[in-house]
Amino acid sequence: MATTKKNSETIPAVGIDLGTTYSVVSRLDHTGKPVTLVNAEGDLLTPSVVLFDGDDVIVGREAWKAVAGEADHVALCSKREIGHPVYHKNFQGKQYPPEVIEGWILNKLRRDTAARVGPLSKVVITVPAYFDEVRRKATQDAGYMAGFEVMDILNEPTAAAIAFGYHEGYMNADGRPAKPQRILVYDLGGGTFDVTVMEIRGDRYIALATDGDVQLGGYDWDLRLVDLVAEAFIREHYADPREDPLIVGKLWRQCEDAKRTLSTRGKASVACDYRGFSSLVTVTQEQFEEATQDLLDRTRFTTTQTLHAARLDWKRIDRVLLVGGSTRMPMVRNMLRELSGKEPDSTVAADEAVAHGAALHAGLLLAKSQGEPATFAIRNVNSHSLGVVGTDPQTRRKRNGILIPRNTPLPVSAKRSFRTQKANQRSILVQVVEGENPSPDDCTMIGRCSVRRLPPNLPSRSRVDVVFQYQTNGRLKVRVTVPDSDVKVETEFQRENSLPKEHLDGWRRHISGVEPTDYR
């Protein structure tokens, strides 16, 4: 990647895997190879944990240690709540939007990275492929509040596929493998699950189908282990240690550790002290697998569905790529081997591959911005259908009129024509939703698009065209035209659950000390 070499000497090509439980930063070295950067503590993985300690906000390892004793002051798994107006816990009487908490995490990553590579602003941040538009926007906002200029957001499985392609020589213009490969990326992280079927064809990375669950990850396996230990404790002492949030924090940390032990040993022990009683509970791998079978089954079901959505069967898949720390659990590998009839592939580092792919993508964008040729191209699909809210003429019920079905290759545009109801109508309101359900109430409301200042004196039933465009990164743009009129119509896309620009600017100054820009 000679093109990024030149760039990396001026602007570092940096990619961030902002994980639910851990985050990773990578940059391209002078040869264009992605390397993982260590944080200020010297670790490759930074816990995505925030401790509110009086006026101080502490992120990473120390915050993670505080879970055991100061759980009330610690924000965990904020990525799982992104898209909601506020994080579920309050800290010293304050409730923060989840993207603000993510902003603090990213700010720590920015400062630690700057200490290694010099000042930086431009980055690529990854998101689960299954993230909807609202969550994507909130993640970009988190990057802004952390003082970054987010060049792009990239789907995690696509990032992993890019890292895999780099590893296999697909980035090498001279020695690139001629044979295309179809890969199924199974990505089970700390808090989210994604599965994507991709094709690597020459220098192109083409997503064929994607699906997932933003509420399923290693954390759920941890909680099951907490339950197993608590139940054993109750049988012995008739007291439930889960009643005390501080004990739960401590138990969770120990159980996460025990879970890792169970990936290499047949049993693990967890000590539990509560109300003056203590127990050392031993859990076998068999008990753990039994207690989490339904979680694994959910991933199996989604994997099979995604393969069908890509209109493929296992014979036509060349590799099953394991990504995400939770794929180290033997039950995952065994299930996928049995399901696919292939040995799952761990050639890319489970924890680092996503950040490496993001750095490669950052290098590509920087090179392109300097007019250099692209070394690879990405084609994504949308993970959720996009629709507008309409009324069923028969039942008078609201319904989701799907415009762009899920798994459509991106970028894609869809036009919807509306008619004015009366003469001289000056505005139209369009509600935009994402989701598969026919009822808009069961979909994610992205926002309202108010079309204002329509040309005066339009007759009743005049046509107004609204064009929705999903960009390659899954973000939405809305454009409005009135046929036979060159008047520029004003459109305002009012987002649900999104922080207004003034708030974002205020948080940017507060969290990162970096001056606002014209980001929108």
Residues forming the active site: 17, 79, 156, 187
> Of these, 89, 110, 259, 361, which contacts ligand AMP (CB under 6 A)?
259
**Cα–Cα distance between 125 and 358 in angstroms, integer?**
7
* By CB under 6 A, residue 352 contacts ligand AMP: no
Q: What SS3 class is residue 269?
A: strand
- For ligand AMP, the closer CB: 260 or 501: 260
Q: How far is the CB of 215 from ligand AMP (least distance, A)?
A: 14
DSSP 242: G
* By CB under 6 A, residue 19 contacts ligand AMP: yes
* By CB under 6 A, residue 22 contacts ligand AMP: yes
> Of these, 351, 378, 382, 454, which contacts ligand AMP (CB under 6 A)?
351
* By CB under 6 A, residue 82 contacts ligand AMP: no
- For ligand AMP, the closer CB: 323 or 454: 323
Run of H or E including 59: strand 56-59
Query: Phi and psi of 402, rounded to 5°?
Result: -70, 130
Residues 150-209 contacting ligand AMP, CB under 6 A: 189-190
Which region holds residue 23: left if phi is over 0, alpha if psi is between -120 and 50, else beta?
beta
Q: How far is the CB of 22 from ligand AMP (least distance, A)?
A: 4
> Of these, 15, 143, 157, 218, which contacts ligand AMP (CB under 6 A)?
218
* By CB under 6 A, residue 219 contacts ligand AMP: yes
> Of these, 260, 416, 463, 479, which contacts ligand AMP (CB under 6 A)?
260
Task: Please say whether the beta carbons of 130 and 188 come within 8 A.
Answer: no
Per-position b or e across 465-490, b if 16+ CB within 10 A of its CB: ebebbbebbbbbebebbbeeeeeebe
Q: Mark residues 318-337: x for contact with ligand AMP by CB under 6 A, - for none.
A: ------xxx-xx--------
What is the β-pairing status of strands 74-75 and 50-53?
Answer: antiparallel
Q: Which stretch binds ligand AMP (CB under 6 A): 14-22, 227-235, 238-246, 389-397?
A: 14-22
- For ligand AMP, the closer CB: 21 or 113: 21
- For ligand AMP, the closer CB: 335 or 504: 335
Give every CB contact of residue 421 below 8 A, 6+ residues apart in sequence. 460, 461
Long-range contacts: 33-42, Cβ < 8 Å, 24+? 33/166, 34/163, 34/166, 34/355, 34/356, 34/357, 34/359, 34/360, 36/352, 36/355, 36/356, 37/112, 37/113, 37/116, 37/117, 38/116, 39/108, 39/109, 39/112, 40/111, 40/112, 40/115
- For ligand AMP, the closer CB: 257 or 372: 257
Query: Phi and psi of 415, rounded to 5°?
Result: -110, 140
- For ligand AMP, the closer CB: 27 or 328: 328
* By CB under 6 A, residue 21 contacts ligand AMP: yes
- For ligand AMP, the closer CB: 319 or 328: 328
Q: Which stretch binds ligand AMP (CB under 6 A): 132-140, 253-261, 282-290, 449-457?
A: 253-261
Long-range contacts: 244-247, Cβ < 8 Å, 24+? 244/274, 245/71, 245/72, 246/68, 246/69, 246/71, 246/72, 247/272, 247/273, 247/274
* By CB under 6 A, residue 256 contacts ligand AMP: yes
Q: How far is the CB of 250 from ligand AMP (least distance, A)?
A: 16
List interacting residues with ligand AMP (CB under 6 A): 19-22, 189-190, 218-219, 256, 259-260, 263, 324-326, 328-329, 351
